[in-house]
Amino acid sequence: MTNILITGANGQLGLTFKNIQKKYTNYNIFFAEKKILDITNLEKIEKYLVKNQIDAIINCAAYTQVDKAEDEIELADKINYTAVKYLAELAKKHSIILVHISTDYVFDGTSKNPYTETDKTNPQNCYGKTKLKGEEAIQEINPVNSIIIRTSWLYSEFGNNFVKTICRIGKDKDKIQVVSDQVGSPTYAKDLAEAILTIIPKLKNENTEIVHFANTGSCSWFTFAEEIIKISNIACVVEPIKSTKFKTKAKRPNYSLLNTNKIQNTFGINIPNWKISLKKCLIKMHEV
């Protein structure tokens, strides 16, 4: 039996793991949210890991409020960098597998091709910068059997996310406007969680690996919203607008499509198209 610690247990990825854990009888999963375990406290983390004989950590904890991070840089840095550094140090010290979730926002969005794991990073906002610092900390400490998984546009039946927001406002309004010039790929949290639990026993790497995971295919936020409205049979018109007309405090990448060939080829994972996974999620949300 492998003992797994999932940090950020009340976030949408953490809640997704809780929802699917019964299918994975070879794992004994510990769910830790902030009240149970403060991952910015090195001593507390170490005590928890030793006491519960943790074999693998899946770090889902993150400061993800992109615009707010511009004002709360220290807090974002503490969660996205310092805490990650502590987890990496302890993973190395106690020979624990470390799976860390990162983001497409480590890129600047100027590419015209899907980003590979070796492409140059150049984050354009504080959130992206702190997430990149977390990645670099893991690579520098280099615990054995550690992997960084960059993902994008995460959604699920849980927590707050784009899919739930569009469903909610689509029911209240006749017409909504959504940005059409930012392109990427949505990621259904269930697909990501299942992929992670599949690859954990296969992690046999000396140096920290980076892989990308997102559902296959690509879309803009506008196209994504249109598909949500269409599948859900909501009577609302979605109109495209340019990102310049939709002001946000933090700059977003215009293009953040992730190339997922590496994770598929290395671990034999088949990733569904984003439209297929979106329909599955909406069915679970009773929107279809």
Known catalytic residues?
A: 127
- CB contact at 8 A, 98 and 57: yes
Q: Identify the CA nearest to 164 among candidates 11, 287, 62, 68.
A: 287
Nearest 10 degrees: Cα torsion 37, 40, 42, 44: -20
- CB contact at 8 A, 191 and 272: yes
* Sheet with 56-59, edge to edge strand ranges: 27-32, 2-7, 56-59, 97-103, 146-151, 209-213
Indicate the pairing of strand 219-220 with strand 183-184.
Answer: antiparallel
Q: How far apart are CA 221 and CA 255, in angstroms?
A: 11
**E strands, 22-142, in order:** 27-32, 56-59, 97-103
Q: How far apart are CA 129 and CA 238, in angstroms?
A: 32
